[in-house]
Chain A
Amino acid sequence: MAAGGARKLAATAASVPITLFGLVLVTFLIGRVMPIDPVLAIVGDRAPADVVAATRLELGLDLPLYMQFWIYLGKLAVGDLGRSVMTSHTVWDDIKRFFPATMELATVAIIIASAIGIPVGVLAAVKQGSRFDHAVRVICLAGHSLPTFVLALISLLVFYATLHLVPGPGRQDVVFDEMVPVITNFLTVDAVLAGEWDVFWDAVAHLIQPAGVLAYFGMAFIARMTRAFMLDALAGEYIITARAKGLSTARVIWKHAFGNIAVRLVTILALSYAGLLEGAVVTETVFSWPGLGQYLTISLLNADMNAVLGATLVVGVTYLAFNLLADLLYKLLDPRVQ
């Protein structure tokens, strides 16, 4: 049994490089076939023709596509994502600077989403068909069908512009700019490490709205899945056994039914976390959150192809990593999977 498990694990691991290669190929091709001229982005539209031609040669854009891809792969293998035209830093340095802001946003969002989504999903399943259940289903459906930017803009209008409950866009107030040394690039964590509580609370206040908007979409997914899993579990024969033993309703629900869906739920959480990292792109743009999503959007608008490719790869790799993690956790935690 152990050998079978190891083989399955190896198969999962082996699929990673293949998926990764596909990701790089598609990202690269999309970057090249898009009607964007990267040369124009560098030299500007008033440059003389010979400068344009020289830059084109310098970037290797005269080579056939497969040669360009081969060169890109070679650079990627040594961790060279190229240089961003816009920031004039290497793309890798930019990502190190912007990605933690996205992680911070998504991490807070997934915590809020699970803290609300799981109990709500469980309760909806237990009270299936009740008004509460119907309300949850409507709210979850809205979370699936409402575009992020709509909710983000409504939220800004209500909580910022009208009620003045939260500070405006951005990661912190200007007065706190660069007050704490950058260690983890998670502003909240860095503020705590520096003992600057004003900075910390300011960062939390800025974080809560975009994280809340992002959490809503995660919550909708998590609550819906939890509800479906719980309905399935509650219909199990072992629930009748547990009740026949005279256990309390709470114990039947949380120990017996929830105990059976916990493993599947962990994989759902891992996937939602990856989804939130990805979904942060639009949210960050609306809230001017200086994360990877905003970096990606601005790079795209400026035809900064190295930055676009690099950021897309990071998002893709993170997604893959969380998929793999979800798989591993499932195999590790479920006693039936050996």
Chain B
Amino acid sequence: MRVEIQNLTIAFPTATGISHAVRGVSLDLGTEKLGIVGESGSGKSLTARSILKLLPRSARITADKLSFDGIDVLTANESAMRAIRGRRAGLILQDPKYSLNPVMTAGAQIAESWRMHRKGGAREARAAAIDLLAQVKINDPGRVFDAYPHELSGGMGQRVMIAMMLAPDPELLIADEPTSALDATVQAEILRLMEDLVARRGMSLILISHDLPLVSHFCDRVAVMYAGRIVEQLGAGELAQAKHPYTRGLLDCMPALSQPKPRLPVMTRDPAWLA
């Protein structure tokens, strides 16, 4: 599995003209864990979702190359994309409160995902879904299977989401801020769970976050995005050697217990970064 992105641009028509949300992003992903870090509106989600062609309808997307394992995503039709979506690449969204269908039980949603890509009847799908729920460390999978999303906590909902996306056994998992809507204690559990499952299945992972230290701890490589561009790519261990002032600024404004600062610095943004 290999994702190649070269000179990706995503633009939206607005009342005042065309607004470019992603401006010439190039990325290469093999079987590895890549973190994409950036603030809201930096284009990190759009970049990742473009691999699945799950962008808002008004988005205008151009690229020199955008391919998933040799398949040209730019020219692929809907049915070719459906062969990738779910089956070969899953997507985990931020808040299970909104990303799970509120009128379907958790189990039905996992079973649907399983049946979509595997041959099997309703009974096999149910057994597979319960097995998946157990794999994401849910203690009482039988009960959660029949629960509606509003009856689950945020952490449980996100486990259901992970189980649903792992059901077809994809090669790539895109996690778009998977823990931002969760409590701090639950965040660590969910990340550990994902790390474990990704490693055990030999999957690739794209983890999108605004938390630079967290991502670098968790991924092999980190791409830092700012205003629609990748400003810096670093190995996870090389965070200290970050050169770009934006990356440095992000690191500086993190509070640390080991070195308490009386006052956190506020980043001064250089308009030159936008170029």
Q: Is B one of A's binding partners?
A: yes
Determine which of B82, B99, B112, B148 lies in contact with A335 in the assembled complex, contact meaning CB atoms within 8 Å: B148
Determine which of A236, A240, A259 lies in contact with B91 in the assembled complex, contact meaning CB atoms within 8 Å: A240
**Structural contact, A240 and B54, CB atoms closer than 8 A:** yes
B254 proximal to A (CB < 8 A): no
B8 proximal to A (CB < 8 A): no
Q: How far is the CA of A336 from the CA of B97 in the complex (A)?
A: 12
**Structural contact, A238 and B82, CB atoms closer than 8 A:** no
**Structural contact, A242 and B90, CB atoms closer than 8 A:** no
Contact of A236 with B78 at beta-carbon distance under 8 Å, contacts A245-B86, A246-B83, A246-B168 already known: no
**Structural contact, A243 and B148, CB atoms closer than 8 A:** no
**Structural contact, B99 and A259, CB atoms closer than 8 A:** no
The interface size of chain B toward A, counting residues with CB under 8 Å, comes to 30
Task: Determine how close the nearest CB of chain A comes to the CB of B97; give it in whole angstroms.
Answer: 9
**Structural contact, A243 and B103, CB atoms closer than 8 A:** no
Contact of A237 with B93 at beta-carbon distance under 8 Å, contacts A245-B86, A260-B101, A260-B103 already known: yes
| Contact residues of B between 96 and 122, Cβ < 8 Å to A | 98-104, 112-113, 116-117
**Structural contact, A237 and B116, CB atoms closer than 8 A:** no
**Structural contact, B103 and A240, CB atoms closer than 8 A:** no
- Size bin of chain A's contact surface: 20 to 34
- Closest A residue by C-beta to B53: A243
Q: Is the interface of A mostly helix, strand, loop or mixed?
A: helix
A47 proximal to B (CB < 8 A): no
Task: Determine how close the nearest CB of chain A comes to the CB of B157; give it in whole angstroms.
Answer: 11
Interchain pairs with CB closer than 8 A, number:
74
Q: How far is the CA of A1 from the CA of B132 in the complex (A)?
A: 30
- Interface core residue of A242, A245, A248, A334 (most chain B CB under 10 Å): A245
Q: How far is the CA of A237 from the CA of B161 in the complex (A)?
A: 12
Task: Determine how close the nearest CB of chain A comes to the CB of B106; give it in whole angstroms.
Answer: 12
**Structural contact, B86 and A244, CB atoms closer than 8 A:** yes
**Structural contact, A245 and B164, CB atoms closer than 8 A:** yes
Q: How far is the CA of A236 from the CA of B116 in the complex (A)?
A: 21
**Structural contact, A241 and B85, CB atoms closer than 8 A:** no
Contact of A249 with B99 at beta-carbon distance under 8 Å, contacts A244-B86, A244-B90 already known: no
Given A244-B90, A260-B102; 7 other pairs, CB 8 A cutoff: A238-B100, A241-B101, A241-B164, A244-B54, A245-B86, A259-B103, A262-B103
A sample of 10 cross-chain residue pairs with beta-carbon separation below 8 angstroms, ordered by A number, consists of A241-B91, A241-B93, A247-B112, A249-B78, A259-B101, A259-B104, A260-B101, A335-B102, A336-B148, A336-B150
Q: Across chains A and B, which 5 residue pairs bring their CB atoms closest together, nearest first? A: A246-B86, A244-B91, A237-B98, A246-B85, A245-B86
A residues sitting closer than 8 Å to B (CB atoms) are 236-238, 240-249, 256, 259-260, 262-263, 334-336
